[in-house]
Amino acid sequence: MIPLLLGVSLLTFLLLSLAPGNYFTTLQQNPQISHETILRLEAQFHLNQPWYVQYIFWLRNVLRGDFGYSMAYNVPATSLICSRLANTFALSLAALWIAWGVAIPLGIFAAVRRDSWIDQGSSLLAFVGLSISEIVLALLALWFAAVTGWFPIGGAVSPLHDLMSPAEQWWDYLHHLVLPALVLSAADIAGIMRQMRSNLLDTLQAEYVTAARARGLSEMRVVGKHALRNAINPLLTLFGYSLANLLSGAFIVENIMAWPGLGRLTMEAFLARDSYLVVDCVVLATALLVAGNFLADLLLAWSDPRIRLE
């Protein structure tokens, strides 16, 4: 994980250095700011140094727990990232719960009731979910919210959020969260449901399942105790990739639906040429993806004794 994060941060610094100018370049057009002031600020943030020197200063501060200072927002980067990261976590976890909570039961019913209307309806839902991109789906969701007025458009809370009671504040936050979470979870619902259906169909044809039926066990016990656990094991390997997809998809959904998360912060920092904040966001997002894959490995080892023995 450590070499990966170092490589990502180094590559991000290199790519940002290829673009001309920096954050203070745009301030040169302001007649109220002198040229000497801009030079002093560039020296303060080491922007007058080569990119690899800037990287060394940034890495030294990160190892001390200091993620630098946001030039665009004029606040410490740590506090800014933590506030936005909480919203990204909330969005990704909500989408994760929706995706797995809907896809697993649908996949089980589709496999158990093969070729029924449930199976056909689930296949249609998966086809639609995989066919429509997150960008189009987010735009359709915004249009739906604008036409019906059932959901708020943009932001995580209402303007009068601070004047509400604690219960009303929770409901206000969830009301803003539900539509972006549904958009973000759509593709994962389709993929996980199809994988669950395929795995369970293969498992139901295994010899040990036939032997369990021959012993007179009910179909519910055969599916629930014998077939389901083995069928769900391969899905645990997809958990890390699912989390990775949600985090990367959150960058798209946040920017289109104006959800104030890490993805929207990354785009705002990039457009403002706030280079240190961009690197902080990219490295943190990479760390989350790597942590998701590591968690998937742990879950698979917990679920499958054969992996623990290896």
Question: For residue 44, what pLDDT is reported?
Answer: 76
The predicted-structure confidence for 6-37, as pLDDT tens digits, reads as follows: 888 888 888 888 877 777 777 777 777 777 77
Domain ranges for the chain: 2-66, 85-309
CA 38 to chain centre: 37
User: Do you know the residue count of the chain?
Assistant: 310
Q: Are 303 and 228 in contact, with CB atoms under 8 Å apart?
A: no
Q: What is the mean pLDDT of residues 282-293?
A: 81
Distances in Å between the Cα of 183 and the Cα atoms of 78, 134, 251 are 29, 7, 12
Count other C-beta atoms under 10 Å from residue 110's C-beta.
26
85-309: which CATH architecture? Orthogonal Bundle (1.10)
- Taking the C-alpha atoms of residue 169 and residue 161, their distance in angstroms, rounded to an integer, is 6
Residue 39 token pair: 């030079």
The predicted-structure confidence for 241-264, as pLDDT tens digits, reads as follows: 677 667 777 788 888 888 888 888
Instruction: Return the percentage of the chain with pLDDT > 90, whole number.
Output: 0
CA dihedral 149, 151, 154, 157 (to 10 degrees): 120
Mean residue pLDDT of the chain comes to 80
Q: Which residues pair with 69 in a beta bridge?
A: 76
Name the nearest CA neighbour of 265 among 243, 246, 250. 250
At 303, the pLDDT band (50, 70, 90 cuts) reads low
- Taking the C-alpha atoms of residue 122 and residue 301, their distance in angstroms, rounded to an integer, is 30
CA 115 to chain centre: 34
DSSP letter for 164, please. Answer: S
Identify each DSSP E strand in the chain by its residue range: 69-70, 75-76
At 219, the pLDDT band (50, 70, 90 cuts) reads low
Q: What is the mean pLDDT of residues 90-107?
A: 86
Question: For residue 244, what pLDDT is reported?
Answer: 67
